[in-house]
Amino acid sequence: MTRFPRPFLPALALAVLGGFPFAALAGQPRKAAAAGAGSAAPAPHQGDVTDVRVVRRVEQHPDAWRVWQPFILQGERPRHLIVAFGAMANGKKDMGHILASLSTNDGETWGEPVKVFDYHRWQGAIQFAYANPVLFRAPGQDVIWCFAMRCPIAYENSEESQLVAAFTADGGRSWTPVELAMHYTGPLITNAGIVVAEHEGRKRFLLPAHRNTLAADPRGSRDHFVLSSTSLLEWKLEAYIPQPASPRVFLHEGNVAAGDAPGELRIVMRTADYDDTEKTTSPPRAYSSVSRDGGRTWSTAAPEPELHNAKSKGFFGRAANGTHLYVYNDGPAQRDRSWPGFPNGGRTSLRYKTKSPGGAWSAEQAFFDAGTKNSYPTLVEVAPGDFRAVWDSGDATTPRTHILFGKFKLR
């Protein structure tokens, strides 16, 4: 039986837009398998990630041609982990189902996933597809949320998406979709986790996102921004990340984490050329911005000279001891075939750098290198300096054929 926290549901039901009812459960409760998809080991690799396991393979989803963009969160018990990921609909570029898989043994094996958002289900007369899950648990709550993007499936890609959410009250075994109250009504693209910020004694949830309306509209824009909420149900536009005047940069897929100074927030963003997104910045660099007022305003984005980015998501976060961590793809940009040794473009090995409080970034170190396609890492710290990681992986020429999990410890 699904367990719901008694004080939470009445308030949630009243808060949802105009009393709209919840949609039907996206999946039935299931127990994590004792030996599931995660029992298979991937190919040998180099790098500092250990205990690598396969969470899911695309062959296990007949209605999908890729699995991509996983997100990991610690579950309701110390050895429980939840991974949400996308199963890309056949014929679509970047949208499909969102599923969640549970491990009860710290990632050794993974249970059969349940659907959080199902693109086969119509919402009235519209069929939606979904992308880019973001898992979050508010401090002091047992309920876990999954935020994602929802886009009419008739669109070519998911860049005209709106924010959607579902919650689980039984540790990830079943999910209930919820309609959100959105004061930001433009398209958005999610990517990174929610952070809790405090300013003048008031706590808020911050969700980084971006939009790329310029891709389909010559009067559109490419902007990075931050949404805020005090309830996780009602969201508004909090702030834009200011663009550098010259050169203009396509800032996107930024991760927000606490900065070095007390009360400081820093966002580190993926980049590309603003006018021609097939090109990287020159040289290819991540950009960052800082807020000192709880995310209400941000500094003009500036390059991070030590942080490589060639048009691929990187993970940026801060450990409990204050060490910052950046995990990223080495090499050239995606579809750049000009580099020797990269006949099929970039997004191959994953590398990382660390920075102690007030210090400089370390030398590049290997995170995961197996001579295969790898991208979109996400990490969660389960104990001081002890992380669990997921990313999408493939073979030497084909990306996103399976989801990988691994363990990583700061040195």
**Tokens coding 407:** 């363990």
Domain ranges of the chain: 47-409
Return the amino acid letter for 235: W
Q: Residue 151 has what pLDDT?
A: 96
* DSSP structure string for 345-401: -S---EEEEEE-TTS-BPPPEEEEBSSS-EEEEEEEEEETTEEEEEEEE--SS---S
Q: Residue 10 has what pLDDT?
A: 37
Q: Residue 338 has what pLDDT?
A: 52
Enter the pTM of the model: 0.88
* DSSP structure string for 114-177: EEEE-TTSEETTEEEEEEEEEEE--TT---EEEEEEEEETTSSSSTT-EEEEEEESSTTS--EE
SS (H, E, C) 117-130: ECCCCEECCEEEEE
**Tokens coding 387:** 């992380």
User: Quick one: DSSP state of residue 21?
Assistant: P
CB 73 within 8 A of CB 406: no
Alpha carbon separation from 85 to 66, 122, 201 (Å, rounded): 11, 20, 35
Q: Residue 41 has what pLDDT?
A: 66
CB 30 within 8 A of CB 173: yes
Q: How do residues 282-293 score in pLDDT, each as one tens digit?
A: 999 999 999 999
369-407 burial string, b = 16+ CB within 10 Å, else e? bbebbbbbbbbbbbeeeebbbbbbbbeeeebbbbbbbbb
Residue ranges for the chain with pLDDT beneath 50: 1-39, 342-344
Q: Residue 43 has what pLDDT?
A: 74
Say if residue 35 is exposed, middle or buried (CB neighbours under 10 Å; 0-12, 13-18, 19+): exposed
Alpha carbon separation from 307 to 34, 247, 304, 363 (Å, rounded): 40, 18, 5, 10
Fold of 47-409: Neuraminidase (2.120.10)
* DSSP structure string for 182-223: ES--S--EE-S--EEEEETTEEEEEEEEEEEGGGT-TT--EE
